[in-house]
Amino acid sequence: MAFIALLFALFSTGSCSSQVPLVMWSSEGYTLPQLVSPAAGHIISNVQLMAYLNSALGSAPHNMLLFLQDKLSKDDFTRYGGVFGNKQDSVFPNLESALQSSSSPLVLPALSWLGASAVPSLLQEKLGVSPLSVDPDTLEHLRFNASENTLLVINLPYSSGAYLSCQDVLRNNDEVIGKVLSIMKAQSVPYTAIYTGLKPSRVIEEPSLIVQSSMSRSLLQAVVDEVKPPLMFNSTRGPCIMLWAQNLNVSFSDKEWIDLGPSTFASGGSVSTSGSFCNETNSQLVLDYGSSVSPYNPFRLIFSMSQRRYPVSARNWFTLDTVELVFNTLTATYNGSHGIYAPAEYSFHCQNVNNFRNALLVPHAQNATQWRILFTDFQIQGFSILNGTTDFSYASDCAGFFTPGIWMGLITSLLMLLILTYGLHMIMQLRSMDRFDDPKGPSISVPQSE
């Protein structure tokens, strides 16, 4: 039951517009390698899925069971998985039992459904064998060799018709999963299993970006600027540092701004990343512009990052420790660790990074105050970059939740609430007269002492 609740918690972070979930586990006694969990809301692409499978199948059994359902969405787990305490109503008891017996199941909440449809071909390429479609009755008569690669595909239906409800279909599919796993266990064959869908069972229609772009172009004739790809530094193990910005502006002693963006991100730019490095705890990106930034020759920008684990949050965080501006034979150093940080598996993004107004880069020495730095739409990531990816991970933004507008609204609301409370208090303190004059009786005599 705990694993179905875990599935619900993970699946609830992504959109269900065009993604399917993928669950992967191995038989008892075998452990899948620990992989970096995808960031909340991140959609796994085909390339990233291949990287996950390469890592997972490195030590896992190569007898592969692929439970391929016609349609599958996270809503199927949240509606029918018994995650709200109604365990008796769960339609996935066998899947739940398999996940509990596995020491390290892998859950990908949001996999591109185009990537999900390519799972059989990806496994075929990885294992080097052709897929074999089977059902439980056929599987009972087959014998397997644990030392040979096997790819078994068990196709599962999905229906919402009048004859059989979705809940009943999913319960029957879970029984098929249980039978197949029991057969493999009876033959003492180690296996690795994957449960996913060919396409989502529930799709939320979203406006077409092409239609929106066409309408905007016809109304405003707006010219869309070309988005340049991020700068990426690759080590021997693959990509490890990514950087992007709309503008990288620097200025010396209030002189004219120099934009380093075109030299950094444009194709055929003059920047060199020689001297950059990365490892598990430290990363350094060196942007060497040589003699292209006249008259400051040579000219370099150096971004130094580190990551460490903080027990309070129970996770690793990375910080941009320093930004060094090397010109001629001098170095201006800026400390960014107080404001530029993010979880290690995320990237950092900020619309405005500077050293003179609401500064995130604090001058470290006197000569650093002579330079002005302004990075617009700045984004950087120095750790946890997947092989084959060209996109940043989920971005941790520098913009705080309580903006000036929110603070104004909160303070105004609290002030009005205080006035209302004071008014109610004054009304409750009013006292009515407790003595009345009867015109037919004697006059009321009120002593002066009262």
Reported as a single tens digit per residue, the pLDDT across 298-354 is 889 999 999 999 988 889 999 999 999 988 888 899 998 888 999 998 999 998 999
Each of the 450 residues of the chain gets a pLDDT tens digit; together they read 454 554 544 444 444 447 888 898 888 877 777 766 676 667 887 777 777 887 777 777 778 899 988 888 888 888 888 766 667 778 888 988 888 888 878 888 888 766 666 788 888 888 888 888 888 888 888 888 777 888 899 989 886 555 567 888 888 999 999 999 998 888 888 888 999 888 887 765 545 544 455 555 555 555 555 667 889 888 887 888 999 998 899 988 878 888 898 888 887 777 888 999 999 899 999 999 888 887 788 889 999 999 999 988 889 999 999 999 988 888 899 998 888 999 998 999 998 999 888 889 998 877 788 888 999 999 999 998 877 677 888 888 887 777 788 889 999 999 999 999 999 999 998 877 666 666 776 666 677 765
314: domain CATH number is: 2.40.160.110
pLDDT at 122: 81
Clarify whether residues 43 and 161 are in a common domain: yes
Clarify whether residues 37 and 138 are in a common domain: yes
Looking at the domain assignment, is residue 417 inside a domain? no
- Written as one string, the DSSP assignment of 364-415 is -SGGGGGEEEEEEEEEEE-S-PPTT--S---EEESS-SS-HHHHHHHHHHHH
pLDDT at 176: 92
List the strands of the sheet with 19-26, edge to edge.
Answer: 106-112, 19-26, 192-199, 63-71, 150-156, 132-133
Clarify whether residues 39 and 124 are in a common domain: yes
Write out the two tokens for 290.
């040589």
Clarify whether residues 249 and 113 are in a common domain: no
Looking at the domain assignment, is residue 26 inside a domain? yes
Q: How many domains would you assign to the chain?
A: 2
Cα distance between residue 244 and residue 350, in whole Å: 11
Looking at the domain assignment, is residue 447 inside a domain? no
Q: Whole-angstrom distance between the N-terminal and C-terminal Cα of the chain?
A: 74
Clarify whether residues 258 and 140 are in a common domain: no
Specify the DSSP element, H or E, that contains 55: helix 46-56
Write out the two tokens for 103.
């020491």
Write out the two tokens for 438.
């009867």
Clarify whether residues 253 and 301 are in a common domain: yes
Looking at the domain assignment, is residue 354 inside a domain? yes
Looking at the domain assignment, is residue 208 inside a domain? no
pLDDT at 8: 46
- Written as one string, the DSSP assignment of 296-355 is S-SEEEEEEEEEEEETTTTEEEEEEEEEEEEETTEEEEEE-TTT-EEETTSEEEEEEEES
Clarify whether residues 277 and 174 are in a common domain: no
pLDDT at 13: 45
Looking at the domain assignment, is residue 448 inside a domain? no
Clarify whether residues 151 and 248 are in a common domain: no
Q: Does this model's pTM top 0.85?
A: no
Looking at the domain assignment, is residue 283 inside a domain? yes
Looking at the domain assignment, is residue 223 inside a domain? no
Q: Which residues contact 127 (CB under 8 A, 6 or more apart)?
A: 57, 62, 64, 149, 150, 151
pLDDT at 408: 93
Domain C-terminal end among 363, 379, 397: 397
Domain C-terminal end among 379, 397, 415: 397
Contact (Cβ atoms closer than 8 angstroms) between residue 302 and residue 287 = yes
Clarify whether residues 16 and 161 are in a common domain: yes
Q: Which residues contact 42 (CB under 8 A, 6 or more apart)?
A: 14, 110, 393, 394
Clarify whether residues 253 and 381 are in a common domain: yes
Domain C-terminal end among 199, 218, 242: 199
Residue 33's domain spans which residues? 2-199
Neighbouring C-beta atoms of residue 291, cutoff 10 Å: 11
Clarify whether residues 185 and 262 are in a common domain: no
Contact (Cβ atoms closer than 8 angstroms) between residue 114 and residue 198 = no
Clarify whether residues 148 and 272 are in a common domain: no
pLDDT at 380: 93
Cα distance between residue 313 and residue 343, in whole Å: 10
Q: Can you give the length of the chain in residues? A: 450
**Where does residue 294 rank: exposed (0-12), middle (13-18), buried (19+ CB within 10 A)?**
exposed
Cα distance between residue 378 and residue 244, in whole Å: 6
